[in-house]
């Protein structure tokens, strides 16, 4: 009686717990499962799982580790393993497997007990964080969107669990999006599909990239085989690609390009992934803005360097020099590294901090946009020469600054 009650109680507990439970033989044959297993593996009846090989439930990438754990169970070695379920052709699921042994009354191991907990959302959250870090690192190490393309595709694809990715950049002359970079996970072999991607272009509203271009929003297709506006759906499905998602790379409302990703299984949209991809599009757009600004600054710097007058750019608050052209370096006798450690007060002996603050207070308050004054400059060798300085307000990388254009008036003073 006690034995029957114990069996009844055990069955009741196993049935009631939310985790998937499987009883497995030494050979790996599933002998029994609870109702939660039917939900996890998307079957109607327990009998659809009983009699199957437990190893067939586990992805090929994780199967050898699972087999090793299974062998250890029969030596009464408990185990824990995170792996991907392979029995779901249209869904991706990650589980944490806890393994233990069941003994009979004599202490002999009779079955392996596996408890599977669905950790798919937890894994995806980890990947999103990893992807965010990787995207930031790739952008920090790149000097252009084209150079960052492969690294971004790899970081986002790996971080958000997608199999294939492509970068589509705007071709202004053709008025179309063209594929400039592709990526696939190490486990995928879809070279023909990716090579074909580089041969096509998309107009506004055509295909997934064209629709994202038109809408300016992240778009998701759960099954490309069922989509009516997917020109290469047959080819994609033929190579094992099912779900697709794409997001715009935005710069002040302008579409610079589109990043598109594929999954090897049907995958329904989720808000976390949509939000992450939208944020990536904005982050990459900000990167492009910064690089454009740097290019403009570099061009501006070359122009200033070629001018014969002395040109100085200094911070409006700290007064530290931010840029000094070659004309100033030559006249003062300082190297640029030395000048970037100085302020205008180090070059103008006739001014004190207080008197210079009095001079520029009208610029600080916005009462004047520029002013002009005569004084002297002191070189590194301590010699001096008369100058006429033109000072005006400006900004540099979002900070208030002053631009000083200085003319050596030695000859005028001699006349």
249 forms bridges with which residues in the sheet? 257
Name the residue among 181, 159, 154 with its Cα closest to residue 273: 159
End-to-end C-alpha distance for the chain, whole angstroms:
123
301-353 pLDDT per residue, tens: 555 555 557 889 899 889 999 888 888 888 899 998 899 899 999 999 999 99
Residue 357 token pair = 């603050």
CB-based contacts of 280, cutoff 8 Å, min separation 6: 131, 135, 152, 156, 247, 259
* pLDDT(127) > 50: yes
CA atoms of 222 and 224, how far apart (whole Å)? 7
CA 209 to chain centre: 19
Domains by residue range for the chain, with CATH = 2-118 (3.30.450.20), 123-293 (3.30.450.40), 307-414 (3.30.450.20)
Q: Are residues 313 and 319 in contact, defined by beta-carbon separation less than 8 angstroms? A: no
Q: What is the average pLDDT value for the chain, to the nearest integer?
A: 85
Q: How far is CA 189 from CA 175, 192, 209, 242, in A?
A: 31, 9, 22, 15
Q: In what order do the strands lie in the sheet with 176-184?
A: 201-202, 176-184, 164-171, 254-263, 243-251, 219-221
Q: Are residues 200 and 232 in contact, defined by beta-carbon separation less than 8 angstroms? A: yes
Percent of the chain clearing pLDDT 90 (strictly above): 34
Segment 48-54 long-range contacts (CB within 8 Å, at least 24 positions apart): 49/22, 53/28, 53/29, 54/22, 54/24, 54/28, 54/29, 54/30, 54/114
Question: DSSP characters for 235-290?
Answer: HHHHTT--EEEEEEEEETTEEEEEEEEEESS-----HHHHHHHHHHHHHHHHHHHH
Sole residue written with tokens 């122009």: 303
CA atoms of 98 and 80, how far apart (whole Å)? 5
In this predicted structure, what is the pLDDT of residue 3? Answer: 44
Beta strand spans in 152-230 (E) = 164-171, 176-184, 201-202, 219-221
Weakest mean pLDDT among 97-111, 147-161, 196-210? 97-111
Strand-strand pairing, 243-251 and 254-263? antiparallel
Q: How many CA atoms lie within 13 A of 195 on its CB side?
A: 4
* pLDDT(292) > 60: yes
Q: How far is CA 306 from CA 234, 236, 299, in A?
A: 59, 55, 11
Most confident of 72-76, 130-134, 167-171: 167-171
CA atoms of 175 and 157, how far apart (whole Å)? 27
128 forms bridges with which residues in the sheet? none
In this predicted structure, what is the pLDDT of residue 66? Answer: 92
In this predicted structure, what is the pLDDT of residue 217? Answer: 94
Question: DSSP characters for 47-70?
Answer: GGTTTSBGGGGB-HHHHHHHHHHH
Name the residue among 412, 394, 381 with its Cα closest to residue 311: 394
CA atoms of 236 and 161, how far apart (whole Å)? 18
Weakest mean pLDDT among 94-98, 129-133, 147-151, 383-387? 129-133
Q: Which DSSP category does 163 fall into?
A: S
Sole residue written with tokens 């910064």: 290
Reduce the DSSP state of residue 138 to 3 states and report it: helix
Report CA Rg, the chain.
34
Q: What is the pTM of this model?
A: 0.56
In this predicted structure, what is the pLDDT of residue 160? Answer: 84
Q: Which residue has the higher pLDDT, 47 or 189?
A: 47
């Amino acid at each position: 009686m006690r034995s029957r009650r114990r069996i009844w109680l055990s069955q009741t507990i196993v049935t009631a717990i939310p985790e998937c439970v499987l009883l497995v033989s030494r050979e790996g044959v599933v002998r029994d499962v609870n109702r939660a297993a039917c939900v996890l593996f998307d079957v109607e009846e327990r009998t659809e799982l009983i009699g199957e090989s437990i190893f067939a439930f586990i992805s090929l990438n994780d199967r050898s580790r699972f087999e090793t754990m299974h062998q250890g169970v029969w030596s009464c070695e408990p185990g824990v393993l995170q792996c991907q379920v392979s029995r779901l052709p249209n869904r991706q699921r990650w589980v944490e497997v806890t393994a233990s042994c069941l003994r009979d009354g004599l202490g002999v191991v009779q079955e392996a007990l596996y408890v599977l907990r669905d950790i798919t959302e937890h894994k995806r959250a980890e990947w999103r964080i990893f992807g965010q870090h990787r995207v930031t690192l790739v952008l920090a190490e790149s000097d252009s969107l084209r150079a960052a393309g492969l690294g971004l595709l790899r970081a986002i694809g790996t971080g958000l669990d997608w199999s294939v990715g492509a970068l589509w950049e705007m071709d202004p002359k053709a008025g179309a999006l063209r594929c400039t970079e592709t990526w696939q996970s190490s486990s995928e072999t879809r070279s023909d599909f990716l090579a074909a991607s580089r041969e096509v272009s998309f107009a506004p509203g055509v295909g997934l990239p064209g629709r994202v271009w038109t809408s300016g929003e992240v778009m998701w297709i759960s099954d490309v085989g069922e989509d009516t506006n997917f020109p290469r759906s047959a080819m994609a499905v033929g190579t094992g690609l099912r779900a697709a998602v794409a997001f715009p790379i935005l710069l002040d409302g302008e579409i610079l390009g589109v990043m598109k990703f594929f999954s090897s299984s049907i995958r329904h949209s989720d808000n976390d992934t949509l939000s992450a991809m939208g944020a990536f599009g904005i982050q990459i757009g900000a990167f492009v803005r910064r690089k454009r600004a740097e290019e403009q600054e570099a061009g501006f710097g070359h122009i200033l360097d070629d001018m014969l007058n002395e040109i100085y750019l200094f911070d409006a608050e700290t007064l530290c020099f931010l840029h000094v052209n070659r004309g100033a370096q030559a006249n003062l006798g300082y190297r640029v590294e030395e000048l970037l450690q100085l302020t205008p007060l180090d070059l103008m002996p006739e001014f004190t901090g207080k008197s210079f603050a009095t001079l520029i207070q009208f610029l600080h308050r916005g009462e004047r946009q520029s002013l002009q004054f005569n004084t002297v400059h002191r070189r590194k060798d301590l010699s001096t020469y008369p100058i006429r300085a033109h000072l005006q307000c400006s900004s540099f990388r979002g900070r208030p600054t002053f631009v000083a254009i200085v003319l050596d008036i030695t000859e005028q003073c001699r006349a």
